[in-house]
Chain A
Amino acid sequence: MTSLTLVRRIAARPSIVFEALTTPEGIACWWGPDDGPVLLAETDVRLGGRFRVRFRMLDGSEHESTGEYIEVAKPTRLVMSWRWTHGGEPAEAGEESRVEIDLRPIDTGTELTFTHSRLQTDASRDSHEQGWTGAFDKLERHFAK
């Protein structure tokens, strides 16, 4: 599994950071990758609730990602699944990843730890299922005798 972790220290209390992460108004202010607009932001912040965000980049391309809230502990932790439903990375079509955000109160505000994890990829799942494991299991049993 591949995962990326980024840490930021923010001069704002955790409840304000949590709102910025989860309200449509908040998301509209930071989700876009450049100065292009966020076209749509929907959030249903509860266990099993979904989010959907669509934005347009300056080059005119539109991208949309969606996912489900897997853990919601306001204002300290948020876990959600992540999937591109329009645009995004063609290489990742249909691939689901996971975003975990922890907010820890510190003297100056909040320490945000952000982790995006790629779950097992299609390629590795396929190679796993192609059956060479079966052949090696046999070989392993042979050596174990």
Chain B
Amino acid sequence: MDTETALNTAEEILKPWTRSVTIPEPNRIVISISRKDLKTGIKALLDAHWGYLSCILGVDFPGNPAPQPEEKMWERLNESEYISPSKPEGMIRVHYVFCHGAACVTLRVAPHYSNLWVPSICDLIPSATLMERELMEMFGIRVEGTPDTTHLLLPDMWPDGEYPLRKWWKGLDQELPESELVD
């Protein structure tokens, strides 16, 4: 299947649950989907043997209430969904990227800070557990139903509530305590 056909096939498969489609590059489509439809959409792709899960990644879009860095960053943006005074609340976009040959299809959900959870896809794709663990510890998103909630990358003694990949996180305020094995 060539790239264009692959993308069209995926778009067809996901049509019932698609909220919007963006085309950032010739070989990619990004499908905005709601959290309750996410697993149905993924299952449809898997049933059609369309590609494999390549990555789960998060991008933080902090809202206005959070402290602003240099003003110029906001001036340059022209994406309406990013930050605007009418949408003060922050959100985190979670991308589920599936690849088939050169074609990449991203299913994208965007939970807001006030309701920060996504469903786990581990019952569909067991190997997603590592990526979901990373998502949880780096962004503080709750992944409902994920089998393993322990840290993947951050140290054992990492304090709760510190999410390094949030935009406004600048570092730990305190020294990490020593782990108990040193006596």
Task: State whether these chains interact.
Answer: no
